[in-house]
């Protein structure tokens, strides 16, 4: 024990009692919880985690009749994930999920006799296990840690120690250094030189893909070591690292073990930032000999580390070098992993329940456990997609926020492991995972079909998610073939950037541009009408017409191209639409909800169901593509005339987070910055994100005057320094640009797409109506033109067309037209038009 256990422990008890005034606090009691039959080792279990994995264990224990206790930090109080816990201990600070004394004190106060650690946080921390043991002996109340014992955790929690064990016992592994302490650059350079570049620099206690850096030569190695040790010091209080041969084209394969048995394999090669996003189990993708070699190596190291005597679930991770077929041991995770569910679904087992049964002393009840020796011949194929709150099209920018809507998929072969639901917040200080979607089928093909279906069905509104990227991946040829490696997202750029989601059949599909701007148009009309109704209630007779201009022209930016979209409204729900002055047809909103973010649009003889989510910088549309498959489209829409042309530009934080650093030598008022230059590093969802300058100009203001003392808060309870928290939208910098600086108006910024009109005769008529064609040239109408002209005249009279240019030209054409065609539309009709306009609440100009 490296701290004064008693003192810290009693202080922590007091801290928790203040937060939980009603809690008993008389200490642990042996009395059985009511209703729990004798014979259970587990009497009451604290789940030292949050979100999905916590909910899974509340429910798994609940099924066994064993009471559970949630620990809940301040920011999590309003969330739904702990609804199924039997008791709650509030733990205050958000860092306290990783605070050992707090977790143990919570178990003590709640009179629990076991702790389940989940994943992340302190799930792999040997100190945690030893503290639990010390508590158990010093306070004479046993608390069971539901995981491997201290020796095993100590050995495996540190990657360098685990690798040494593997090396000593002839388990294959790729070349690597021993542990390097004290940020020793000389040793690092020497080791890297010996191993041969490229190498990877890894924190010895990193996890979740953090603390891993590639270096192609000595210069990059210096930078890598600096970044790695900085992260280690700041985040984990331990900068020790090691160097490993970088495998350029690897495949991540891992073995699920249970008490030392190899249960089955998982392929986890779809990764971003060295963290998994899709995992598979069932089909192994490798030959039987290699598969058995991996399982054998996993059982061997499990046995050597003491896992077979205790421990329950664990995972042995390997990399296969795709160029040689050789494999190397990477690490063991001493817990149930995020992707355990694919093994569940593939084998038809329940690993979470196995954990409960095993630590409850009922090993014999584990279904299939004894049959494991047969290696389960009847397996399904199962695929998991991790649903993250992030924006893959924007370098995986974190996207914390409130889930406004969430529709989970249904029907055959789909499992949704979600810890959050509608109304919950995806919080900036925790992991970005919202939940996991798992499909299974008798073949990979079937599992894949179901996954694609389920990803289309899943809908989450309020935060940006990676669902559209996942759709692109599962539709991608390389992924479908199955022989992909960890390089999938590196080698296929289309999986990372905006663009059609795999279904587009050539040509630019501009429907998203039309529908995106149309929904914006409808929203503005609705707002104006609502405003008008409020006004007429009060001043019904004094304000005869709606005194508000609704913009009907928009600048839209889609896939890096800008378009000018224009609507000419002809009835309450119908408009003609033009893109860059070229007629595209008639569009009608068939039905929409109050917020106009879930609507049916009729366009080109087809109806489209559209759901959209509005963010400060983009609209995200979800709709079917030309192949009738759901896709996501992001675009920026700004009403014409609303562009920000102010020479003063505010750089705001795009998400809530905390301050990390300024780049390089810092930044000061008066500095000249180029567009795209790095301004500040913020942390959100455990990810560092660099904010760059959107314009070229001079910095005239910096948050907290750029004063680091104010930007780094004091030490937290774990002794780590934390940055000042930053609100979403908080101004970080003010940059003054030269006169020509124009921002926010997408259409003004860059290239124009060439869009061809594609609608026959009406098109030429409408186009000339909106062009500068002299009126005289437009005589000699075709039948369809006359019909259109009537429609427009009616719209003018009804007050839908407010654009003076169109009104004038339509009126002009009316003059030119043969009188007998104009039936009831003489000048006297203006009175009727006035009445109509009154009712439809829109001003006739
Ligand atoms: P695996 O479990 O497959 O190794 P990761 O390493 O990505 O996958 O999972 C561990 C990571 O999960 C942790 O590093 C942490 O970032 C994240 N994590 C921890 N707790 C939670 C939680 N309650 N919900 C979602 N993610 C979590
Ligand atoms: P973590 O503890 O974060 O899970 P790992 O050591 O398991 O870290 O590595 C995570 C991922 O990083 C691997 O799945 C792989 O994609 C990549 N990686 C790790 N080591 C190497 C290596 N030597 N060569 C290539 N890629 C690697
Ligand atoms: Mg790993």
Dihedral in degrees, nearest 10, Cα atoms 804, 806, 811, 812: 110
pLDDT band of 814, cuts 50, 70, 90: low
Whether pLDDT at 843 is above 80: no
Mean pLDDT of the chain: 85
- Among 330, 332, 485, 491, the mutation site with the greatest number of ligand 2 atoms within 8 A of its Cβ is 330
Q: How far is the CA of 209 from the centre of ligand 2 (A)?
A: 7
Ligand (nearest to CA of 429): 1
How many whole angstroms separate alpha carbon 524 and alpha carbon 798? 18
For the stretch 258-290, pLDDT in tens is 999 999 999 999 999 999 999 999 999 999 999
Asked whether 87 lines ligand 1 (CB < 6 A), one says no
How many whole angstroms separate alpha carbon 345 and alpha carbon 280? 10
| pLDDT for res 421 | 96
| CB of 236 closer than 8 Å to CB of 300 | no
User: In which residue are the tokens 């009804």 written?
Assistant: 798
Mean pLDDT within 706-711:
86
| CB of 57 closer than 8 Å to CB of 118 | yes
Picking from 608, 403, 439, the residue whose alpha carbon sits closest to that of residue 516 is 608
How many whole angstroms separate alpha carbon 343 and alpha carbon 381? 9
Count of C-beta atoms within a 10 Å radius of residue 779: 10
Mean pLDDT within 815-820:
62
Nearest CA to ligand 1 atom 19: 120
| pLDDT for res 591 | 79
Whether pLDDT at 7 is above 70: yes
State what percent of residues in the chain have pLDDT above 90.
60
| pLDDT for res 368 | 56
User: In which residue are the tokens 């810890």 written?
Assistant: 419
Pocket of ligand 2 (CB under 6 A): 174, 200, 206-209, 212, 244-247, 250, 252, 271, 274, 317, 319, 330-331, 486
- Among 338, 420, 432, the mutation site with the greatest number of ligand 1 atoms within 8 A of its Cβ is 338
| Dihedral sign of CA atoms 119, 124, 128, 134 in order | positive
Atom of ligand 2 nearest to the CA of 245: 23
How many whole angstroms separate alpha carbon 44 and alpha carbon 86? 9
For the stretch 36-59, pLDDT in tens is 777 889 999 999 999 999 999 999
Asked whether 275 lines ligand 1 (CB < 6 A), one says yes
| pLDDT for res 694 | 87
Q: How far is the CA of 793 from the centre of ligand 1 (A)?
A: 62
Whether pLDDT at 136 is above 60: yes
Q: How far is the CA of 330 from the centre of ligand 3 (A)?
A: 7
Instruction: Identify the DSSP state of 586.
Output: E
The contacts of residue 404 (CB under 8 Å, 6+ apart) are: 422, 461, 462, 613
Nearest CA to ligand 2 atom 2: 207
For the stretch 758-771, pLDDT in tens is 444 566 777 777 66
pTM of the model as a whole: 0.90
Distances (CA, A) of 418 to 345, 380, 667: 16, 22, 42
Task: Read off the tokens for 122.
Answer: 């302190």
Asked whether 49 lines ligand 1 (CB < 6 A), one says yes
Nearest CA to ligand 2 atom 22: 246
Nearest CA to ligand 2 atom 25: 247
Asked whether 338 lines ligand 1 (CB < 6 A), one says yes
Atom of ligand 1 nearest to the CA of 419: 24
Which helix (H) or strand (E) is 358 found in, with range? helix 351-359
Q: How far is the CA of 392 from the centre of ligand 3 (A)?
A: 21
Lowest-confidence range among 296-300, 605-609, 715-719?
715-719
Catalytic residues: 335
Ligand (nearest to CA of 337): 1
Q: How far is the CA of 119 from the centre of ligand 3 (A)?
A: 12
Lowest-confidence range among 9-18, 638-647, 813-822?
813-822
Atom of ligand 2 nearest to the CA of 211: 3
Atom of ligand 1 nearest to the CA of 335: 2
Count of C-beta atoms within a 10 Å radius of residue 238: 15
Nearest CA to ligand 2 atom 17: 274
Asked whether 305 lines ligand 1 (CB < 6 A), one says no
Q: How far is the CA of 587 from the centre of ligand 1 (A)?
A: 46
How many whole angstroms separate alpha carbon 679 and alpha carbon 687? 17
How many whole angstroms separate alpha carbon 114 and alpha carbon 68? 9
Whether pLDDT at 784 is above 90: no
Question: Which three-class secondary structure state does DSSP give residue 593?
Answer: coil
Measured N-to-C along each axis, helices 5-19 and 100-109 cross at an angle, to the nearest 10 degrees, of 60
For the stretch 524-581, pLDDT in tens is 888 877 776 666 555 544 434 454 567 889 999 998 899 999 998 888 889 999 998 8
How many whole angstroms separate alpha carbon 588 and alpha carbon 570? 10
Q: How far is the CA of 210 from the centre of ligand 3 (A)?
A: 10
User: In which residue are the tokens 């296990």 written?
Assistant: 129
Atom of ligand 2 nearest to the CA of 276: 14
Instruction: Identify the DSSP state of 743.
Output: B
Q: How far is the CA of 329 from the centre of ligand 3 (A)?
A: 11
pLDDT band of 502, cuts 50, 70, 90: very low
Residue 716 burial (C-beta neighbours within 10 Å; 0-12, 13-18, 19+): middle
Residue 7 burial (C-beta neighbours within 10 Å; 0-12, 13-18, 19+): exposed
Asked whether 317 lines ligand 1 (CB < 6 A), one says no
Mean pLDDT within 630-635:
94
Asked whether 119 lines ligand 1 (CB < 6 A), one says yes
- Among 274, 315, 328, the mutation site with the greatest number of ligand 2 atoms within 8 A of its Cβ is 274
Q: How far is the CA of 105 from the centre of ligand 3 (A)?
A: 30
Whether pLDDT at 481 is above 70: yes
Whether pLDDT at 84 is above 50: yes
- Biggest CA-to-CA distance, the chain: 104
């Amino acid at each position: 024990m490296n701290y004064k256990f008693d003192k810290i422990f009693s202080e922590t008890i007091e801290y928790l009692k203040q937060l939980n005034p009603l809690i008993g606090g008389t200490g642990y009691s042996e009395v059985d919880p009511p209703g729990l039959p004798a014979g259970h080792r587990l009497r009451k279990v604290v789940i030292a985690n949050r979100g999905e994995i916590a909910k899974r264990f509340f429910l798994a224990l609940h099924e066994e009749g064993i009471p559970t206790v949630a620990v809940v930090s301040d920011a999590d109080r309003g969330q739904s994930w702990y609804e199924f816990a039997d008791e709650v201990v509030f733990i205050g600070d958000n860092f306290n999920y990783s605070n050992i004394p707090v977790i143990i004190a919570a178990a003590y106060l709640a009179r629990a006799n076991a702790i389940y650690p989940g994943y992340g946080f302190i799930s792999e921390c040997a100190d945690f296990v030893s503290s639990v043991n010390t508590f158990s002996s010093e306070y004479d109340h046993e608390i069971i840690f539901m995981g491997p014992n201290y020796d095993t955790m100590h050995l495996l929690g540190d990657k360098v120690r685990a690798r040494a064990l593997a090396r000593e016992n002839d388990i294959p592994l790729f070349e690597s250094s021993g542990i390097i302490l004290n940020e020793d650059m000389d040793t690092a350079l020497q080791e890297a030189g010996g191993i041969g570049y490229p190498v990877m620099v890894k924190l010895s206690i990193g996890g979740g893909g953090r603390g891993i850096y590639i270096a192609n030569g000595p210069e990059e190695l210096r930078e890598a070591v600096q970044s790695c040790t900085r992260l280690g010091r700041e985040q984990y209080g331990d900068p020790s690292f090691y160097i490993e041969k970088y495998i350029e084209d690897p495949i991540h394969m891992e073995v699920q073990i249970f008490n030392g048995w190899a249960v089955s394999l998982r392929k986890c090669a779809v990764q971003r930032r060295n963290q998994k996003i899709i995992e598979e189990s069932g089909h192994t993708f490798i030959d039987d000999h290699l598969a058995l070699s991996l399982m054998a190596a996993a059982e061997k190291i499990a046995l050597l580390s003491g896992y077979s005597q205790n421990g329950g679930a664990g995972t042995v991770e390997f990399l296969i070098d795709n160029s040689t077929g050789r494999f190397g041991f990477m690490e063991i995770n001493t817990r149930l992993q995020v992707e355990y569910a694919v093994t569940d679904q593939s084998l038809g087992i329940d690993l979470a329940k196995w954990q409960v049964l095993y630590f409850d002393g009922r090993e014999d009840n584990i279904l299939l456990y004894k049959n494991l020796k047969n290696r389960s011949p009847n397996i399904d194929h199962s695929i998991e997609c991790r649903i993250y709150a992030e924006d893959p099209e924007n370098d995986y920018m974190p996207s914390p926020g409130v889930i406004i809507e969430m529709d989970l998929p249904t029907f055959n072969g789909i499992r949704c492991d979600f810890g959050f639901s509608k109304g919950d917040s995806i919080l900036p200080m925790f992991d970005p995972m919202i939940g996991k979607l798992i499909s299974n089928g008798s073949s990979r093909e079937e599992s894949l079909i179901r996954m694609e279906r389920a990803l289309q069905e899943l809908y989450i509104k309020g935060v940006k998610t990676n669902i559209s990227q996942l759709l692109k991946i599962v539709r991608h040829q390389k992924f479908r073939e199955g022989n992909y490696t960890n390089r999938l997202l590196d080698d296929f750029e289309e999986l990372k950037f905006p663009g059609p989601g795999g279904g587009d059949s050539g040509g630019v599909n501009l429907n998203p541009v039309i529908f995106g701007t149309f929904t914006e148009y409808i929203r503005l009309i609705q707002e104006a009408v609502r405003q008008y109704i409020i006004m007429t209630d009060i001043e019904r007779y004094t304000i005869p017409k709606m005194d508000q201009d609704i913009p009907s022209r928009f600048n839209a930016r889609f896939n890096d191209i800008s378009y000018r979209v224009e609507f000419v409204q002809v009835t309450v729900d119908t408009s003609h639409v033009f893109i860059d002055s070229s007629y595209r047809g008639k569009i009608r909103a068939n039905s929409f909800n109050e917020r106009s973010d879930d609507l049916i649009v009729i366009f080109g003889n087809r109806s489209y169901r559209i759901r959209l989510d509005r963010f400060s910088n983009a609209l995200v549309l979800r709709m079917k593509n030309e192949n009738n498959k759901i896709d996501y489209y992001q675009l920026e829409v700004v009403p014409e005339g609303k562009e920000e042309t102010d020479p003063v530009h505010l750089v705001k934080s795009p998400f809530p987070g905390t301050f990390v650093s300024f780049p390089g030598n810092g930044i000061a008022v008066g500095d000249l910055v180029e567009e795209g230059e790095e301004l500040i590093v913020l942390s959100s969802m455990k990810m560092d994100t660099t904010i760059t300058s959107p314009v070229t100009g001079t910095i005239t203001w910096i948050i907290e005057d750029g004063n680091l003392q104010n930007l780094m808060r004091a030490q937290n309870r774990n002794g780590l320094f934390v940055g000042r928290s930053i609100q979403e939208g908080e101004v970080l910098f003010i940059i003054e640009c030269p006169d020509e600086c124009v921002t926010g108006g997408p259409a003004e910024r860059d290239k124009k797409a060439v869009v061809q009109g594609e609608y026959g005769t009406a098109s030429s008529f409408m186009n000339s109506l909106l062009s500068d064609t002299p009126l005289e040239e437009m005589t000699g109408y075709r039948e369809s033109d006359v019909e259109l002209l009537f429609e427009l005249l009616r719209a003018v009279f009804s007050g839908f067309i407010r654009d003076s240019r169109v009104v004038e030209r339509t009126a002009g054409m009316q003059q030119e037209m043969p009188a007998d065609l104009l039936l009831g539309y003489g000048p006297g009709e203006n009175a009727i038009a006035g009445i109509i306009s009154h009712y439809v609440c829109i001003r006739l100009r």
